[in-house]
Amino acid sequence: DQQVKQNSPSLSVQEGRISILNCDYTNSMFDYFLWYKKYPAEGPTFLISISSIKDKNEDGRFTVFLNKSAKHLSLHIVPSQPGDSAVYFCAASNTGKLIFGQGTTLQVKP
């Protein structure tokens, strides 16, 4: 039972444009959502999070949007930079367990 899904395995974007990564979840009890970024041979690094009581959180070039009725969240990166090329994981939590999606590989082309 995949509670957190990232349906796009990969995304390619031109430098300077917007990158939009999507994530869907099935458990309406999740109260906390996060995005992690992962480079090869490294552990995931925390990017941005959002509480279920909010619909938007912004941090510099990164904005996370949450649509609770659709059980959908998205990460917007603007402008995209070549250094943003990595695997992005969304994750969700409720009673103490962090559940990860399968990841989306973002490639930002110069």
Partner 1 sequence: GEEVAQTPKHLVRGEGQKAKLYCAPIKGHSYVFWYQQVLKNEFKFLISFQNENVFDETGMPKERFSAKCLPNSPCSLEIQATKLEDSAVYFCASSPKGYALNSPLHFGNGTRLTVT
DSSP state of 68: T
CB of 43 to partner 1, least distance (A): 3
Q: Alpha-carbon torsion 41, 49, 15, 87, what sign?
A: positive
Nearer to partner 1, 15 or 68 (CB): 68
Q: Alpha-carbon torsion 21, 26, 31, 37, what sign?
A: negative
Nearer to partner 1, 32 or 62 (CB): 32
d(C-alpha 104, C-alpha 35), whole Å: 11
Nearer to partner 1, 14 or 51 (CB): 51
CB of 106 to partner 1, least distance (A): 15
CB of 72 to partner 1, least distance (A): 18
Which positions lie near partner 1, rule CB under 8 A? 2, 4, 32, 34, 36, 41-46, 49, 51, 87, 89, 93, 96-103
For residue 86, which of 8, 10, 16 has the smallest C-alpha distance? 10
